[in-house]
Structure 1
């Protein structure tokens, strides 16, 4: 008798194949799922590791960036290689010059900050497509190590950095270099927390972290009856009559370049810098001004118990658009509210 064979119907073959494919798919998908889970876990870990930044590190990098930019500013001015052009005019009709000092300082400052903290937002007054591979030295100045604790971390997505690669460009072109500064400000959730103001032509750097410390301090005395008021020499608008209406015709007005310089004029400077820096009691600006001009000064004053607000006393948000339309009044060592109460009603958008 011939051996009996096993015959599979087409339907049986189909079912068998489907079962096999199902088993293989199940096994394969399990492997893929485990790999995806591991990948997501690693990615989440990496994201968590990069989502916070240490404020002391941010301060150290900000100081290094300001100093590095300042060296470019000084070199261009010393070599008389300004190659001056114009960015246009302000609302008040004043020219806005642009020099190689602005550009080269921007390249160093912007790229150092972005290369060190690629996950944070950096806003600069200037714009340039040149990529500089400059890296942070990881050196933390001794005075920062002495006064500022490590481990104060903030979410990276809450950080906005404002840099001014060359404040007082108009004065820079006129060789009035005492007014020139480079500035870095770190805002967290729109509030200025770190301020750095560097003077390239003296080498002095003022810095502060709100709530932690500073290398600056207020002077021992101030007056607002009447005060010495420091104002812009190139974007003044109708500030003279405004100040006289506020504090009287006998009020002393100091005209100066650079918002950074004006903030330093409110503070006690080291003895070696005092002779080259004006001393004022209040800083007032009644026209539009950009946030990279004022954020560092706002942080510095806030760290020392001072204030920088709009003319109406409103806080300025440093997480939004670059333009501050509310003017500003800055003080330290006096009652800010008392200064605000003396100011006439004024709308910079209508004047």
Structure 2
């Protein structure tokens, strides 16, 4: 026995009484626990089932989409200007934004209390969670495509919500660009992405390393060719001088498509309709997180124009000022051509 050995080693003029022996044993045990990292015996951390979080994210993106659809069909938008971009473009907020925000944010808070959620919209009114609809944590489509699961500590997860992407286009009734988006970041990495298109009732989702919705397909590798012009998709509401820059970088034959909604543009690249999505002005992280996760899950990439991955861990930094490039293939080829633009943006920041 360890205690007997300690007693034998003690000088003859020192005697351990029973109380002292107990204290010594406790100290030794605590030292072993500390050294072997077993402190979780005393402090159990809460963990989230990621498969359940994926299912809830899909359902809530769809629920928010129904609110967006209802408001548009009733023509009850009540659009207001909530601010302006650095370039002077108005940033709008509608009833559709707020109804979707409430549906997604409160639904997520009820399903996973304590989960950190960051939304584009804000509201200070108190909410009665008894009036919030419960959200099922199991979905047939998820169970069909995802065969395994993972449990992640609650404090490592941040959920980003864009309750209505392409609000400008929403007010113009350009419905094809409008989406609702939910993204789950783990330790800052975009891990689960959900993009729902309410006006054609299509939902695209992916979980990095685990699977994706059946309407998403990985692209086959194709060789770069000068014969087929490069097609690049950019923002129609915040184009800046990006069209001229792209033509200069990739040649006058480059096809530049202007479209609304960061979610729409990310999906355009994922589907192989455009070779790249380029953005040169400031953009919020709730606009791009879901698309980033879906790109990652299907072996694509999204970075700043200087090649850095985007960190989604903090609510204190919700904006990316270093431009954006999203591709499914040949990402560094496009980065190289856009290097002069990246240097210009670096000087501005």
TM-score (norm: length of structure 2): 0.81
Q: Offset of 1:344 from its aligned partner?
A: 3.3
User: How many residues are treated as equivalent by the alignment?
Assistant: 297
User: Where does residue 281 of structure 1 map in the other structure?
Assistant: 275
TM-score (norm: length of structure 1): 0.80
Let me know the Cα RMSD of the aligned residues: 2.0
Matches for 1:112-261 after TM superposition, within 5 Å = 112-130=107-125, 131=127, 133=129, 134-215=132-213, 216-220=216-220, 225=226, 226-261=229-264
Q: Offset of 1:141 from its aligned partner?
A: 2.4
User: Where does residue 348 of structure 1 map in the other structure?
Assistant: 345
User: Where does residue 262 of structure 1 map in the other structure?
Assistant: 265
C-alpha distance in 2 between matches for 1:227 and 1:307: 17
Q: In structure 2, the residue corresponding to 1:127 is in which secondary structure?
A: coil
C-alpha distance in 2 between matches for 1:195 and 1:217: 15
C-alpha distance in 2 between matches for 1:115 and 1:92: 38
C-alpha distance in 1 between matches for 2:276 and 2:190: 19
Q: Offset of 1:345 from its aligned partner?
A: 2.1
2:321 to 320, 325, 342: 325
Contact 2:71 2:77 in 1 (8 A): yes
C-alpha distance in 1 between matches for 2:320 and 2:177: 22
2:92 is the counterpart of 1:97: yes
Q: Offset of 1:221 from its aligned partner?
A: 6.4
**Structure 1: gaps spanning 5 or more residues:** 1-43, 270-278
C-alpha distance in 1 between matches for 2:52 and 2:106: 16
Contact 2:65 2:196 in 1 (8 A): yes
Contact 1:120 1:156 in 2 (8 A): yes
Q: Offset of 1:151 from its aligned partner?
A: 3.6
C-alpha distance in 1 between matches for 2:301 and 2:225: 15
Q: Offset of 1:268 from its aligned partner?
A: 3.1
Q: Offset of 1:267 from its aligned partner?
A: 2.7
Larger radius of gyration: 1
Q: Offset of 1:129 from its aligned partner?
A: 2.6
User: Where does residue 301 of structure 1 map in the other structure?
Assistant: 295
Contact 1:242 1:344 in 2 (8 A): no
C-alpha distance in 2 between matches for 1:254 and 1:199: 20
**Cα 1:151/1:97, change in 2 over 3 Å:** same
User: Where does residue 285 of structure 2 map in the other structure?
Assistant: 291
**Structure 2: gaps spanning 5 or more residues:** 1-39
